[in-house]
């Protein structure tokens, strides 16, 4: 192999290695972000259940008709189960992907595929987060501040 051929091969290999390392960094960053957001989603799902339980116990709250209809729909069978199933499945998926953080041998497109998979999870998580935030807003409007603070402190201690 001539010096010119070696230099060409070295440049190409370095370029491929740099691309894979960049993809791996993006993967690790995205994985950490999703794990953090999943923890927040988990706490919000617990908060939702606690708020629902509280509103079911307290009958003296004046709830607007619009909020009452929404809260009644929250009681539908399996309403929060979809979010809880998503949390469970996503925890499993992110746990499996955790193993790829220590990869030192780069297969063609490996991290590109993993990053696309994480982007799909990210999109689904955004939808769940937005839906749960809307629902929590409805519940929050109907619970006094002191009661919310007391319930939230229990969630923080558990989490």
Written as one string, the DSSP assignment of 57-91 is H-------HHHHHHHHHHTSTTTTHHHHHHHHHHH
Residue 33 has pLDDT above 60, yes or no: yes
> What tens digit of pLDDT does each residue of 78-108 get?
899 999 999 999 999 998 887 766 666 666 6
Q: What is the pTM of this model?
A: 0.80
Residue 10 has pLDDT above 60, yes or no: yes
What is the per-residue pLDDT for 48? 93
The reported pLDDT for the residue numbered 78 is 87
- Count of beta carbons in the 10 Å neighbourhood of residue 106: 15
Range of the domain at 101: 3-158
Number of domains in the chain: 1
């Amino acid at each position: 192999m001539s010096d010119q051929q070696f230099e060409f091969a070295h440049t190409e290999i370095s370029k491929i290695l740099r691309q894979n390392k960049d993809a791996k960094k993006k993967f690790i960053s995205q994985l950490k972000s999703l794990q953090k957001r999943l923890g927040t989603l988990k706490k919000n799902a617990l908060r939702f259940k606690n708020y629902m339980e509280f509103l079911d116990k307290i009958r003296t709250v004046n709830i607007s008709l619009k909020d009452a209809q929404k809260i009644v729909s929250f009681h539908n069978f399996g309403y929060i189960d979809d979010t809880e199933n998503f949390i469970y499945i996503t925890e499993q998926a992110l746990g499996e992907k955790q193993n790829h953080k220590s990869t030192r041998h780069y297969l063609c497109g490996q991290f590109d595929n993993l990053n696309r998979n994480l982007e799909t999870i990210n999109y689904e998580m955004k939808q769940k987060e937005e839906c749960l935030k809307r629902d929590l807003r409805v519940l929050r409007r109907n619970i006094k501040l002191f009661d919310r603070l007391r319930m939230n402190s229990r969630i923080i201690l558990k989490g």
